[in-house]
Amino acid sequence: MNFCYLTTIVFLPLVGLIVIALLSKPQPKTVKLTALIFTLASFALSIVVFCLFDRSSGIIGQIQFEEKLAWIPAINAFYHLGVDGLSLPMVILTTFLGFLAVLVSWKVELRPREYFIWLLFLETSILGVFCSLDLVLFFLFWELELIPMYFLISIWGTGRREYSAIKYVIYTLVGSAMMLAGILSIYFTTGSLNMMELAGLAPVKPFIPLTAMFFLLFIGFAIKLPVFPLHTWLPDAHTDAPTAVSVILAGVLLKMGGYGMIRLCVSIFPEVALNYAPWLVLLAVVNVLYGAAVTLRQTDLKRLIAYSSVSHMGYVLLGIFALSQISLTGATLQMFSHGIITGLLFAMVGLVYDKTHERNLERLGGLARQMPVIVVVFSVAGLAALGLPGTSGFAAEFITFVGGYSSAAFEGIRLYTILGVLGIVITAGYILWMLQRVFYGPPVEKFDGVPDADNIEKVCIFSFVGAIMLVGLYPAILTDVIKLGIMPIMKLVGL
């Protein structure tokens, strides 16, 4: 019997939380070490899967490491897991950030047992989304993510944490209701819940118009990505969430939206995606420019990074609906790149706040002398976010823009792509201003003697830096895998 790699990867964090729950009056350090061991094991196993993944040209579009068991026979639902070139990078990203989120949380003192239980539950639910190939299983994992996010923000957050947690839940539930309606309409039309069977399916008598099915799913994913004007939950959730939750939220939760658009909206409804591509690419450009412009007005560090995510997710939306093989590859790489870059940015903001107890740009300044390690790593993260060559940010954005500019999806896409490039100029403005204000502005007397990063923090932040540089200097390590998942989708689109 073959080893069930994906089931093990998905449920190792769940086993970890059960172990933590069963520990009798554990010390906080024991809880943290247990969480660290199980998240590290899940990450290590995902690397094994990545190394064993068959990249030969004969298996383009083929699902690998597939596991399929009858689950709910009455509706033809299966426990069906598998990965291809599209989902595997997201699995790697999730396990990597899940492990680092435990390190980021090392100094959590408030109810650490419950905190790490919810954090591990969150990782399992996200991994389930990326590995599921059955629509009901996909939706189940999608909904499970809500529970830990609510408790992590409302109990361990700051500021208006209850408000932000409830706002996040309400927005996500509205999107989930749309998604469920879309999934049910697909099932009533086809009788199938298998994502691979549904790809490119053109039913003779759809339950509701295909366009309606497409947009029911699209709106659910657009809230998660997020897409303007459905983005207003994001700044509040980020601002009030604990640092590790912001890392996970920006790093992988937003990517569930982009992944869903490619896996379901484009794959199942390629003709609808092509018909509405001009409007959706225009929306992407609005996302890029609006998000970047609003970021310029922020004075709270976490809120600034949150709005920058709105802008950068616009690049993902542009790459998806430019509907070329290069642009879709770029969009997937951008999701991975943004995950590690913005995860690092939030980790750095958390470090600065832990040392200074201040996030307001107007009250920070001159920290470079006290924090040499933090200033270097924060600068690397900022420069990667604005697309400095040699970093993953440059590789992802360059591939996305080349794919958008060369796309044959519709006339005028070149103009939209050029407008999207302007977002990088604005990004450079707010990133460089932020770094100058925090580290090189006039020194503030009350911050004299604040400590630099400790050893655990250095391991965490340099792991991020290593990933950013690896993907930036050798993007083929991911693009060679991603294209295997994108090529069959392009055959369905027909461009």
Digit-coded pLDDT (tens) for 46-55: 999 999 998 8
**2 has pLDDT over 90:** no
Q: What integer pLDDT is reported at residue 307 of this predicted model?
A: 92
Q: What integer pLDDT is reported at residue 446 of this predicted model?
A: 83
- d(CA 321, CA 221) in angstroms, rounded, equals 14
- 21 falls within a domain: no
- 177 falls within a domain: no
Mean pLDDT in the chain?
91
- 254 falls within a domain: no
- d(CA 185, CA 360) in angstroms, rounded, equals 47
Q: What integer pLDDT is reported at residue 368 of this predicted model?
A: 85
- d(CA 45, CA 6) in angstroms, rounded, equals 9
Do 105 and 241 meet the contact criterion of CB atoms below 8 Å apart? Answer: no
Lowest mean pLDDT across 180-189, 361-370, 413-422: 361-370
- 119 falls within a domain: no
Q: What integer pLDDT is reported at residue 61 of this predicted model?
A: 66
Lowest mean pLDDT across 105-109, 169-173, 390-394: 105-109
Q: Strand runs (DSSP E) across 131-275, as ranges?
A: none
**196 has pLDDT over 90:** no
Instruction: Provide the token pair at 133.
Output: 């190939």
**207 has pLDDT over 80:** no
- 144 falls within a domain: no
- 398 falls within a domain: yes
- d(CA 34, CA 16) in angstroms, rounded, equals 7
Q: What integer pLDDT is reported at residue 438 of this predicted model?
A: 87
Q: Which residue has the higher pLDDT, 346 or 453?
A: 346
Instruction: Provide the token pair at 67.
Output: 């596991």
Neighbours of 204 (CB within 10 A): 5
Q: Nearest CA to 329 among 427, 222, 415, 404? A: 404
**240 has pLDDT over 60:** yes
- d(CA 94, CA 255) in angstroms, rounded, equals 10
What total number of domains does the chain contain? 1
- 1 falls within a domain: no
Confidence band of 472 (pLDDT split at 50, 70, 90) = very high
Burial label for 251, CB within 10 Å (0-12, 13-18, 19+), is buried
Residues of the chain above pLDDT 70, percent:
98
Average pLDDT over residues 238-243: 90
Average pLDDT over residues 284-298: 92
Do 299 and 365 meet the contact criterion of CB atoms below 8 Å apart? Answer: no
Strands 64-72 and 77-83: antiparallel
Do 65 and 127 meet the contact criterion of CB atoms below 8 Å apart? Answer: no
- d(CA 324, CA 487) in angstroms, rounded, equals 9
Do 116 and 104 meet the contact criterion of CB atoms below 8 Å apart? Answer: no
Q: What integer pLDDT is reported at residue 1 of this predicted model?
A: 46
Q: What integer pLDDT is reported at residue 123 of this predicted model?
A: 96
**59 has pLDDT over 90:** no
- 393 falls within a domain: yes
Domain encompassing residue 473: 276-495
Confidence band of 58 (pLDDT split at 50, 70, 90) = low
Confidence band of 129 (pLDDT split at 50, 70, 90) = very high
